[in-house]
Amino acid sequence: MMIYYGRLGKAFRDMTRFHVLETYPQESDTPRKRYGDQCYKTPNIALRSGDRIKVFNSIAAGNALWKGTLRFLKKEPSTGANPMGMPKVQWEAMFNARLPVRLTRENGEIVEGMLNKWNDWDGPDTYDIFDFKNNSYQSLHNFKDGDVMEIFSGVTDGNVVWEGEVKTLRAPVPSGQQTMQADDDGVWRGKTGPEYVGNALVAPSIRDVRTWQMDLPVMLERDEP
């Protein structure tokens, strides 16, 4: 049995959209520059019937990718400054991957959520934590010197939002949307055509998947690669 960790997302192949698990980076993975940002190159795993998944909205246990007490040496954390002991490239890539995180403040308060990098229109990027409550701006939390941060490459236990066996339709189905398509010679000329979903979900439901906002930690079990 194979076990994978990540978050639910979408991927496209030959103008067909697939529901996938966007896997989290592991300790041996090295960030690479992509479209001007530092990113981890990790595989997308298309969901298929028979997969078993657990979706979490808290972290009771997991595989730690990094843990440390934050020290920024008078730099401002919200601007993307990396803490002591953490290379800038890796810090940036972890935020771009929106990895699960647990923050323990000096007063004992615990915040669980995802690393979050965002900007308000054309302003500079802001780095913080977005908690699993998904309550708009109230779910944003900053961090500072003295806080203990634990970043995870997989969540193995916590409060389970949904657990069960994945069921998908066997044949692609129209999504009802249009998508860009290349001509027969492979050149993009603004042509559009019907989009298809290659593994339309029966379970879990699309409504459930949308509620999870594509960012809650997921553990996927598969009997064979």
Residue-level pLDDT at 206: 86
User: For residue 136, which phi and psi values (nearest 5 degrees)?
Assistant: 50, -140
Residues 47 and 115 occupy one common structural domain: no
119 and 68 assigned to the same domain? yes
Pair of tokens at residue 6: 């990540």
Name the least confident of 16-20, 26-30, 214-218.
26-30
Q: Which residue has the higher pLDDT, 120 or 24?
A: 24
The per-residue pLDDT for 168 is 97
Counted domains in the chain: 2
Does residue 222 register a pLDDT over 70?
A: yes
**pLDDT score at 124:** 85
pLDDT tens digits along 122-178: 778 999 999 998 888 899 999 999 999 999 999 999 999 999 999 999 999 998 888
User: How far is it, in rounded angstroms, from Cα 208 to Cα 162?
Assistant: 9
Domain boundary, last residue among 113, 131, 157: 157
Question: Whole domain around residue 170: which residue ranges?
Answer: 2-34+41-57+159-222
Average pLDDT, the chain: 91
Residue 225 has pLDDT above 90, yes or no: no
Question: Does pLDDT of 183 surpass 80?
Answer: no
pLDDT at 175: 86
The amino acid that residue 95 corresponds to is F
Q: Is there a single domain that holds both residue 51 and residue 65? A: no
Report whether 94 contacts 65 (CB < 8 A). Answer: yes
| DSSP strands (E only) in 75-211 | 100-104, 110-118, 126-131, 140-141, 148-157, 160-165, 167-168, 173-182, 188-197, 201-203
- Which amino acid is residue 207, in one-letter code? R
Average pLDDT (170-193) is 75
> Which amino acid is located at 210 in the chain?
R
52 & 83 share domain: no
Residue 182 has pLDDT above 80, yes or no: no
216 and 53 Cβ atoms separated by less than 8 Å:
no
Q: Are residues 184 and 136 in the same domain?
A: no
Do 96 and 130 lie in a common domain?
A: yes
Backbone phi and psi for residue 13, each to the nearest 5 degrees, phi listed first: -145, 120
